[in-house]
Amino acid sequence: MGEEARRGTHAHGRSENASRTGGEGATVSPGGRAAAGDGSARWRRVGVVGLGTMGAGIAEVLAGSGLDVVGVERDTDALRRARGRIEHSLDRAARHGRLADAARGELLGRLSLGTELAAVSDCDLVIEAIDERLDAKTALFARLDEVCLPATVLATNTSSLSVTELAAGTGRSARVLGMHWFNPAPVMGLVEVVRTVVTDADALAAVVSLVGAVGKTAVVAADRAGFIVNALLFGYLNNAVRMVEARFATREDVDAAMRLGCGHPMGPLALLDLIGLDAAHAILASMYDQTRDHLHAPAPLLGQLVAAGLLGRKTGRGFYTYPATDAPDVPPEGPGRKDPGAVGEPGAVGEPGAVGESGAVGEPGGGGGAGTAAARTPGGPATPGEAGAVGGAAVRVRSVGIVGSGTMARGIAEVLARSGHDVILRARRPDAADAAHDRVAASLAAAVAKGRLSDDDRDAALGRLRVTTDLGELGGCDVLLEAVVEDLAVKRELFTDLDKVARPGAVLATTTSCLPVVECATATRRPEAVVGMHWFNPAQVMRLVEVVPTVLTGAGATATVTALARAAGRHPVQCADRAGFIVNALLFPYLNDAVKMLQANYATIEDIDTAMTVGCGHPMGPFALADVVGLDVTLAITRSLYEQFREPGYAPAPLLEHLVRARFLGRKTGRGFHAHAPR
Ligand SMILES: NC(=O)c1ccc[n+]([C@@H]2O[C@H](COP(=O)([O-])OP(=O)(O)OC[C@H]3O[C@@H](n4cnc5c(N)ncnc54)[C@H](O)[C@@H]3O)[C@@H](O)[C@H]2O)c1
């Protein structure tokens, strides 16, 4: 790892801004006035040009922090809309008790709005937030350069254009930088401050200080397409669009998978609708221009939606359909959603029986994707008699046999026993079987101690759990679920054995996270009964289950494990049998991209983690997460994605391989990207 990358040269936390950038203690005083004993004190009057979605929010934040703000729009109509936007936002803050009447009056008193650009001439800083068009921005910067005092610093809120190019078009390139805010500006805590190769260090430090003074966190990034957040986020978002485009999974299932599997506040498609599909398309196109990485080339579906004027929430329809334009609500992703209208929706285009198709949304009671699994086998509607006992609807599951005694096997056994299923857990050795039983008992006891489970329910759950070393004892179970080591030869051999002992009509399921489910299916004489059921760790906590039918799986088998997941209080999503399923296929390329960004010395571990947590609301940054997952596991999954998809962009980052070779595996070895206290 390069020293530069480790040193942490940039500010990344409010408390650290001052010390790491030369500023000292920029604070917001109790009265709300930005007061600082450092660079940020030089900002008294700030101009904001373009008061659309972003500019209006930025002006509100600055005026709310005690700065005098001069807002400029291009004409009176646009100015009227801008006033409405600000009023609306302040109303909302007041409704939520975040803004008192007096403070609102003061804030509005500090805000002067007009249509004359000359009004910003004596500002210390001018932030440009007009449309994302290079020609428009270049012309505006040329005019600002003319009308503003020589000392005025000019900042652009561009998401994807070259700050360097904008700076070069002025006579003050050292005092031009990027200030990339996040939407909605009053709510989101991050601002990426973008320096070019000629940016003046004092101007940069003072802008970073200002960001801290208005209550946001700054990370400093060099001028590269997408900076930190978008460069990592948009590859992931594009990937999600391609999944829907390829009918690999439904939009609802992709979104639910990332919310429940990764704790993201929004799924990628709902997020794209919020960002605006036109903006997303422009950002990806600009990233592609710079990187020439096929993974950044906007997915054709995105371009089609934009061409059709379906731009997301702002037009009332994008991947989802909203009750109104600019609707504040996230579309429901749960059952009951019937929305056959959205373009690009799997199943919306009539093409029955496409292999890999994940089915239609909006079927009766559907929307949860996997909920209607019975009606949609990946291989198309089953020919009568084709799938035998598992060819129809869900079979009610009373008993489950679990093979394995590791973390997943025990966690799943506990969840299923607690939800009223008879469970037989089979380990290879008697001591392992007993230990598994004791671990489940201890976990149930811990739930009782935390007040999450009654004594009676614990006793009932334990009463439903049996352990054995004899695979034959699983023969009578309705579902036989394998959770042994992630090794294809071992799993195939086990499936051959399960096929021998399982009763006719039983469903055989695998918990594999990376291996092809179909390889397990072909090790049996009943491939129609074999399906993937991918749980997440810890199973007791994580609500997501990916249900993975192969091209050979019967509809009944898919429906049965889907219903079983629901009965166990889990949220099933369905996808085709492709490496990484939904979550890992979206998550690991993103983690790998973060490692590549680090490897290129573009930003530090801390800045990247901060940018993704503060800027996107992710529960963990990519490096903190890789350390939890394990760098060896991260590498193995990244390799398996690369081997299956042959995408050059999925090739594991050399730095990741290097760290694994050095046994920097993350929390488990005390050191990964971060150092960890020994456990
Ligand atoms: N929307 C986002 O999520 C987001 C996030 C971060 C950054 N950005 C960037 O912020 C900038 C603005 O984006 P937005 O979403 O607010 O766009 P927007 O279309 O909502 O607002 C642009 C505003 O600029 C005004 N305008 C255009 N030309 C002008 C001129 N010459 N003088 C004064 N006003 C002018 C328009 O009337 C409009 O109100 C873009 O560069 C965008 O890439 C957007």
- Angle CA(581)–CA(404)–CA(399) in degrees, nearest 5? 85
pLDDT tens per residue, range 399-442: 999 999 999 999 999 999 999 999 999 999 999 999 999 999 99
Residue 188 beta carbon below 6 angstroms from any ligand 1 atom: no
Q: Whose CA is nearest to atom 28 of ligand 1?
A: 130
The closest residue, in CA terms, to atom 37 on ligand 1 is 78
Query: 252-291 burial, b for 16+ CB within 10 Å, e for fewer?
Result: bbbbbbbbbbbebebbbbbbbbbbbbbbbbbbbbbbbeeb
Closest alpha carbon to 354 in 320, 322, 378 = 378
| Closest alpha carbon to 376 in 542, 558, 183 | 558
CB atoms within 10 A of CB 13: 15
Pairing of strands 530-535, 544-549: antiparallel
Q: Closest Cα to residue 333, out of 544, 157, 503, 567?
A: 544
pLDDT of res. 32: 36
**Torsions phi, psi for 49 (to 5 deg):** -110, 120
Please give the mean pLDDT across all residues of the chain. Answer: 86
Cα of 133 vs centre of ligand 1, distance in Å, is 9
Q: Give the dihedral of Cα atoms 310, 249, 564, 633; nearest 10 deg.
A: -120
What pLDDT shows up at residue 420? 97
Q: 49: Cβ below 6 Å to ligand 1? A: yes
Cβ 233 under 6 angstroms from ligand 1? no
Is the model's pLDDT at 272 over the cut of 80? Answer: yes
Q: Has residue 94 got a pLDDT over 60?
A: yes
Containing 219, the helix (H) or strand (E) segment is strand 217-222
Are residues 477 and 399 in contact, defined by beta-carbon separation less than 8 angstroms? Answer: yes
pLDDT per position as a tens digit, 383-394: 333 434 455 789
Nearest CA to ligand 1 atom 40: 132
What is the SS3 assignment for 157-213?
A: CCCCCCHHHHHHCCCCHHHEEEEEECCCCCCCCEEEEEECCCCCHHHHHHHHHHHHH
Cα separation, 153 vs 134, whole angstroms: 19
In a mutational test of the pocket of ligand 1, which residue from 74, 75, 79, 130 has the highest number of ligand atoms less than 8 Å from its CB? 130
Ligand 1 atom index nearest CA of 72: 33
Residue 640 Cβ contacting ligand 1 at under 6 Å: no
Q: What is the DSSP letter of 618?
A: -
C-alpha to C-alpha distance for 446 and 440, rounded to whole angstroms: 10
**Looking at ligand 1, which atom is closest to the CA of residue 55?**
16
Q: What Rg do the C-alpha atoms of the chain give, in angstroms?
A: 28
What DSSP state is assigned to residue 456?
Answer: H
CA-CA distances (angstroms) from residue 245 to 14, 248, 384? 41, 8, 30
43 lines ligand 1 (CB under 6 A): no
Cβ(277) to ligand 1 under 6 A?
A: no
Could you tell me if the CB of 71 is within 6 A of ligand 1? no
**pLDDT the model gives residue 27:** 31
Q: What 8-state DSSP symbol labels residue 529?
A: G
Q: Is the CB of 11 under 6 A from ligand 1?
A: no
pLDDT (tens digit, 9 = 90+) per residue, 480-521? 999 999 999 999 999 999 999 999 999 999 999 989 999 999
Within 10 angstroms of residue 500's Cβ, the number of other Cβ atoms is 12
Q: Residue 13 pLDDT more than 50? A: no
CA 115 to ligand 1: nearest atom: 33
Query: Going by CA atoms, what residue is nearest to atom 21 of ligand 1?
Result: 52
Nearest ligand 1 atom, CA 137: 31
- Whether 482 contacts 495, CB under 8 Å: yes
Give the integer Cα–Cα distance in Å for 406 and 368. Answer: 30
How far is ligand 1, taken at its centre, from the CA of residue 599, in Å? 33
674 C-alpha vs ligand 1 centroid, how far in Å? 38
Q: Which atom of ligand 1 is nearest to the CA of 160?
A: 43
Q: CA 311, CA 300: separation in Å to the nearest integer?
A: 14
Edge-to-edge strand ranges of the sheet holding 45-49: 111-114, 68-72, 45-49, 125-128, 153-156, 176-181, 190-195, 217-222
Instruction: List strand residue ranges (DSSP E) for 322-450, in order.
Output: 399-403, 422-426
Active site residues: 159, 180, 192, 230
| Run of H or E including 146 | helix 134-147
The mean per-residue pLDDT over the stretch 459-464 comes to 98
pLDDT at 53: 87
272 lines ligand 1 (CB under 6 A): no
Q: Verify whether ligand 1 is closer than 6 Å to residue 153 (CB atom).
A: no
Q: What is the 3-state secondary structure (H, E, C) of 554-599?
A: CHHHHHHHHHHHHHCCCEEEECCCCCCCCHHHHHHHHHHHHHHHHH
Query: Which pLDDT score, from 0 to 100, does residue 132 have?
Result: 87
